[in-house]
Chain A
Amino acid sequence: DAKTTQPTSMDCAEGRAANLPCNHSTISGNEYVYWYRQIHSQGPQYIIHGLKNNETNEMASLIITEDRKSSTLILPHATLRDTAVYYCIVNAGGTSYGKLTFGQGTILTVHP
């Protein structure tokens, strides 16, 4: 799986959009970009994933650059409960049987 690079930590004010960047310059054509988060020491929680088109769901939006070498997770209106570690993961899907390679992630702190 391609390696990802994320900032170690970010801050965001409550109610504002949180934009979390991820670099995956070595991504290959069949690899998807996944975002998960981990609140305190709970189990990771799926947020969103995409291949090349931008994606949106009830939790977040995923913007993938045209060359697919980087992406941004957007939490449109961050709340205190969004304080967590956010992981950007690249995975080839079909043949890798759910083997997600977690990095250190970005510690997002949402403050009042």
Chain B
Amino acid sequence: EPEVTQTPSHQVTQMGQEVILRCVPISNHLYFYWYRQILGQKVEFLVSFYNNEISEKSEIFDDQFSVERPDGSNFTLKIRSTKLEDSAMYFCASNVRWGTLAKDGELFFGEGSRLTVL
């Protein structure tokens, strides 16, 4: 079964450093997302991306964050200058299209990248 893959599985970085988290969505999917989950807390929406531009973003997704689809397969989340509070599990997700028909409603999530900021 096709799956969303994320790398790295765990990254440790120093505060102030730039981090890039990578995702390979399922190949025929058109909508891409990043979510995060701070340890012990809820899963939170960060951003959605379609047709090479951001469709929607949350208040968390400030100027320190950016997303990019540099080629036909990768989808990246960059944190420009990490803070301690950025420590979390980051989940990439994708789906064919966002809609209401049967399988369209299903977001496929990756296994996550754990970011630890020291």
Give chain A nearest CB distance to B86 CB in angstroms: 17
Give chain B nearest CB distance to A42 CB in angstroms: 6
Contact present for A98 and B100 (CB under 8 Å): no
A94 to B43, CA, bound (A): 21
**Given contact pairs A32-B100, A51-B100, A93-B100, A98 touches B107 in the complex (Cβ within 8 A):** yes
Which A10-32 residues sit within 8 Å CB-CB of chain B? 32
- Main SS of chain B's interface residues? strand
Please count the residue pairs between chain A and chain B whose beta carbons lie under 8 angstroms apart in the complex: 68
* 0/1 interface trace, chain B 49-71, chain A, CB 8 Å (1 if under): 01000011010000000000000
B95 within 8 A of A: yes
Residues on the A chain within 8 Å of B107, using CB: 36, 44, 46, 98, 100
Which of A46, A99, A104: most chain B Cβ within 10 A?
A: A99
Contact present for B91 and A44 (CB under 8 Å): yes
Give chain A nearest CB distance to B32 CB in angstroms: 9
Contact present for B43 and A44 (CB under 8 Å): yes
Contact present for B108 and A46 (CB under 8 Å): yes
Contact present for A34 and B42 (CB under 8 Å): no
